[in-house]
Structure 1
Amino acid sequence: MNYKGLETLYWVARLNSFNKAAIHLNTTQSSVSQRILALEAELNIKLLNRTPRYIHLTDKGKIAFKYAEKLILLNEEFLSTIAENDSCIESTIRLGTSETIVHTWLVDFIDVIYREYPYITLDIIINITPVLKEMLKNGELDMVFMLDHTCDFDCIQRPLCSFEQNFLVSAEFGKRFQSKGAFTFRDLTRSTMISYPKNTHPYLDLKQQLNQLRLLEPKTITSYSLTTLIKMTEEGMGIGVLPHYSVLKELREKKLYLLPSEIHLRPYHFLCVYTIGSDDNVKHNLADLAVSVSSKAMKKLSQQFKSENFYLF
């Protein structure tokens, strides 16, 4: 029995797309079609019915799919068991991550992987949570570090870390608030805010609190790029609503300052999420590493933050 044919059938049916299956299997769409045709010819049965919008397994195809899934899992178990050490398993993992992670502990994570699993290659994509989730669902990524988000597909989710947000300003911009005491919601409505777009968790949390107080939303400059948000805040274009652990370097260099505030913003939580069906043991080990590295990194960042005073006044 051709293993690649069954593996291809599994991913075509799971992703409901020849093209997405080809991306996941790192091959071409024509190759995927040929594998399915060869498998059907070998078994002398029809496995798939195709329409312009959907791909349906036949009754025999459903049986083949179940056995294909078992075979893939058994193959993963075999590769894991036969290897003398997990660190010797060669694999390429397509990892998607939020930029907040990039600014805090991603480098530490990569460093540990290359020491403990030298045969693993990482292909890293940086994007926002909705995009990362869709890429994982479509088989374009193997694992993602993303904001806590409802997933409508089979996956493993592991809690990673949480980030608090603060109001940050340049020294020049912040002078206007020095004589007013703690920063308030009314101060915010009269200011320009620099934040993630209005459909993201940080902004929606702030909007909800403003609505409860029946206050208007402030003028806002938005971007999905954390680097861009930091730069605009440094340039004095407004008050940045940012995760402060991501800007410790800028705080130490006195490019940014924390603005004392009576406003409490809820932290947002990150997950490590991955699908099963290929390289399962590798992804499980990398998830364990991510949990460990993020925990140590966040404790270190917390200690560094508490040891210094980064407030403007």
Structure 2
Amino acid sequence: MASKLDLYKIFCVVGKRKSFSQAAKELYMTQPAVSQAIMQLERELDTRLFNRTPKGVSLTDEGTILFEYANSAINLIEAGEEKLLEFKNLTAGELKIGVGDTISRHFLLPYLEAFHNHYPNIKFKMVNGTTTEICTLLKSGEVDIGVCNFPLEDPALELKPCIDIHDIFVCGEKFKYLLSKPLSLEELVKLPLIMLEPKSNSRMYVEDYLISKGIKMSPEFELGSHDLLLEFAKINLGIACVTKEFSLKDLEERNVWKIPVIEEIPSRSIGVCYLKSVPLSPASNKFVKIIENK
């Protein structure tokens, strides 16, 4: 037995063609099957929808009213199916990414460019936030994926590490005397430190590591931007804790110098995260694969 939606589709084609035989050809059905479907719909609605004549069929007044609504509904469904196909083929849609400014600038840009070159019709929506804020955005559905600092502990999220990064300490010209020999971490924290603000994942990682060694730090400056860390170090306001991979240009140009330490802080990573309970959209899935494969 045909479903109610199938019956309405057949009804609309018959209403357009005003002929059971022509509708049958268009629907790749037999004429008796089309006639049976219309009779089934008329029984279910307890209403005659067509006037049958030797020359064909015509809509009754009741049929005309139903046709206006049913035809609009079928057209909307078909438009929705076409739009869904566009999303699957990545010819339309939006990709919502939660990411901090530093990671966006120093890590994500090449992947955004590569994705846009392949799928120019997909729009980007970038939402700025800390790692903690990005996790909240993911759970509320405001972003599709997050790109943030690891380690990250959250059983609701799928985590995909992408690149290892290293936390180092750098100084400007005034503190170059510190380069003569490696410093212990205990010696380092006695210097005027420039750190990211406490809520940042990067700051917490370094601070937790120092605490595990029984070392407590008290920064001179706490900033909200990685680029500001470098700028403060350049003008000799203290020793900045920065991400090595994001500071290579300034290190190569000798705007800042890496301070040697006896014990390096273990590497961590930047990665992609998304909800385990929600399947990735086609656009999100493609973007994650571009990052993984590059």
TM-score normalised by structure 2 residue count: 0.63
- Note the C-alpha offset of 1:131: 0.8
Q: How much identity, in percent, do the aligned residues show?
A: 14
The corresponding residue for 1:223 is 223
| Mapped partners of 2:234, 2:283: distance in 1 | 41
Q: Cα deviation per residue 1:143-162 (whole Å; 9 max; x = unaligned)?
A: 11022323354x54322222
- Note the C-alpha offset of 1:192: 1.2
- Note the C-alpha offset of 1:187: 2.2
What is the RMSD computed on CA atoms of the aligned residues? 2.9
Structure 2, unpaired ranges of 5+: 1-80
The corresponding residue for 2:190 is 190
- Note the C-alpha offset of 1:95: 0.9
CA contact (8 A) 1:168 1:258 kept: yes
| Mapped partners of 1:79, 1:131: distance in 2 | 35
CA contact (8 A) 1:188 1:218 kept: no
The answer to which of 134-143 and 209-218 deviates more is: 209-218
CA contact (8 A) 2:90 2:283 kept: no
The reply on whether 1:280 has 2:271 as its aligned counterpart is no
Q: Cα deviation per residue 1:179-214 (whole Å; 9 max; x = unaligned)?
A: 4x1122232132011122334444444444544554
- Note the C-alpha offset of 1:263: 2.5
Structure 1, unpaired ranges of 5+: 1-77, 294-313
Q: Alpha carbons of 1:115 and 1:221: their partners in 2 closer, same or farther (altered >3 Å)?
A: same
- Partner of 2:106: helix, strand, or coil? coil
The reply on whether 1:262 has 2:265 as its aligned counterpart is no
Q: Cα deviation per residue 1:72-131 (whole Å; 9 max; x = unaligned)?
A: xxxxxx77994598342x011111113342232322111101111111111112321001
The corresponding residue for 1:141 is 143
CA contact (8 A) 1:189 1:218 kept: yes
Bigger Cα Rg? 2
- Partner of 1:260: helix, strand, or coil? coil
| Mapped partners of 1:199, 1:85: distance in 2 | 38
TM-score normalised by structure 1 residue count: 0.60
The one of 150, 154, 167 aligned to 1:151: 154
The answer to which of 248-257 and 132-141 deviates more is: 248-257
- Note the C-alpha offset of 1:171: 2.1
| Mapped partners of 2:161, 2:82: distance in 1 | 27
What count of residue pairs does the alignment treat as equivalent? Answer: 213
The answer to which of 185-194 and 116-125 deviates more is: 185-194
The corresponding residue for 1:122 is 124
**Counterpart residue identity of residue 284, structure 1:** N
The reply on whether 1:291 has 2:277 as its aligned counterpart is no
| Mapped partners of 1:253, 1:191: distance in 2 | 24
Extract structure 1 runs of 4+ deviating beyond 6 A: 78-81
